[in-house]
């Protein structure tokens, strides 16, 4: 029994590290999109090329490492997750045209609360006092880190961020039971492919696939497809195999810390004292949640598989 718990803790630690590494990549997402749009890139084309290139990178890594692909029966639900993720990405990208990145973060990073509640309702995950307090602490930290109130943004932009946040929450809760029994890397490749197909279709129906913005925009899209797409999506899928949905969402709340630091370095935005406090609260919530005891054998997820 002791050996089993030790192995389970090791695998859960690997899952946690994968989620945190994913959050690090996602922390640059809003910054890179803002820079690409500022360079003259078109929003629909940004999303389409981001996922086309990101899917290509994930499939290349899958082939180089010889990881298995999911069975044919798993392809439709995984592709469906990809379409849902495309909707999330489109809403968030368009929102950044009307609201500041900090306001978007304020609304978007409320999603851990939604995930924990949905997971408790539909997945039977325990809503323990530690989990509730960890989510609350991290959420307060997100509010402070973002540094801008909801009323400071355009209503249309706020509505789009809310749609993005809601679709991501559903994506995590729907994906958790499915990804437990499937190869993680292969699943990420299929999900990204579904996302790319949906994003390309939206761009073709909209204003086309011409990116705009010249060499600078293409350079930013290349970075976005790897740093903000292929690697974090793959790592998140791997982590979600080993960490339950509520914890995965809460661990991801370190993303605003990365975003604030990147905005300071790349966009010259000033970091306010309250944002430092918010970052400390986020880390405190993550660490508090991390100290929760492992699930019993009857509730434990499938073994972790490295990407």
Position 210 scores a pLDDT of 93
Handedness of CA 39, 44, 47, 50 (dihedral sign): negative
Query: What pTM did the predictor assign?
Result: 0.75
Note whether residue 193 is domain-resident.
Answer: yes
The secondary structure element, H or E, covering residue 132 is helix 129-146
Note whether residue 214 is domain-resident.
Answer: yes
Note whether residue 12 is domain-resident.
Answer: no
Number of domains in the chain: 1
Domain limits for position 176: 22-299
Q: Pick from 139, 45, 60: which is nearest to 93 by CA?
A: 45
Note whether residue 8 is domain-resident.
Answer: no
Position 272 scores a pLDDT of 67
Give the 3-state secondary structure percentages of the chain, helix then strand then coil, rounded to 5: 80, 0, 20
Note whether residue 14 is domain-resident.
Answer: no
Give the pLDDT of the chain (307 residues) as one tens digit per residue: 444 345 457 777 778 888 888 888 888 888 899 899 999 999 999 999 999 999 998 899 888 878 788 888 888 999 999 999 999 999 999 988 887 776 777 677 777 777 777 877 877 777 778 777 877 887 787 777 665 544 455 678 878 988 998 898 888 888 877 777 777 778 888 998 999 999 999 999 998 999 999 999 999 999 999 988 888 877 877 787 777 766 776 777 777 778 777 777 777 766 667 767 877 787 777 667 666 544 333 333 332 222 2
Q: Over the stretch 73-98, which tens digit does the pLDDT of each residue have?
A: 888 999 999 999 999 999 999 988 88
Note whether residue 7 is domain-resident.
Answer: no
Note whether residue 134 is domain-resident.
Answer: yes
Q: Give start and end residues of each alpha helix (H) in 147-244.
A: 155-179, 184-205, 214-225, 231-242
Note whether residue 305 is domain-resident.
Answer: no
């Amino acid at each position: 029994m002791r050996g089993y718990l030790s192995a389970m803790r090791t695998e859960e630690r690997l899952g946690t590290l994968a989620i945190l590494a994913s959050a690090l990549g996602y922390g640059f997402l809003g910054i890179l999109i803002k820079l690409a749009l500022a360079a003259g890139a078109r929003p629909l084309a940004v999303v389409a090329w981001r996922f086309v290139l990101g899917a290509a990178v994930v499939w290349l890594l899958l082939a180089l490492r010889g990881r298995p692909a999911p069975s044919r029966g798993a392809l439709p639900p995984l592709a469906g997750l990809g379409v849902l993720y495309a909707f999330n990405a489109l809403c968030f990208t368009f929102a950044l045209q009307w609201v500041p990145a900090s306001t978007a973060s304020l609304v978007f990073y409320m999603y851990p609360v939604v995930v924990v509640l949905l997971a408790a309702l539909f997945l039977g995950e325990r809503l323990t006092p530690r989990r509730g307090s960890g989510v609350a602490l991290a959420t307060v930290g997100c509010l402070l880190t973002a540094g801008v109130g909801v009323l400071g943004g355009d209503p249309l932009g706020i509505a789009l961020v809310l749609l993005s946040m809601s679709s991501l929450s559903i994506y995590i809760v729907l994906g958790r039971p499915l990804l437990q029994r499937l190869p993680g890397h292969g699943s990420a490749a299929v999900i990204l492919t579904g996302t790319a197909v949906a994003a390309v279709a939206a761009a073709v129906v909209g204003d086309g696939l011409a990116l705009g913005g010249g060499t600078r925009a293409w350079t930013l899209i290349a970075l976005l497809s790897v740093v903000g797409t292929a690697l974090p999506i793959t790592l998140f899928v791997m982590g979600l195999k080993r960490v339950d949905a509520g914890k995965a969402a809460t661990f991801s709340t370190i993303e605003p810390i990365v975003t604030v630091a990147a905005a300071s370095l790349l966009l010259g935005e000033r970091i306010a004292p309250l944002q430092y406090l918010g970052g400390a609260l986020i880390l405190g919530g993550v660490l508090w949640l991390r100290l929760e005891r492992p699930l019993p054998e009857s509730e434990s997820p499938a073994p972790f598989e490295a990407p």
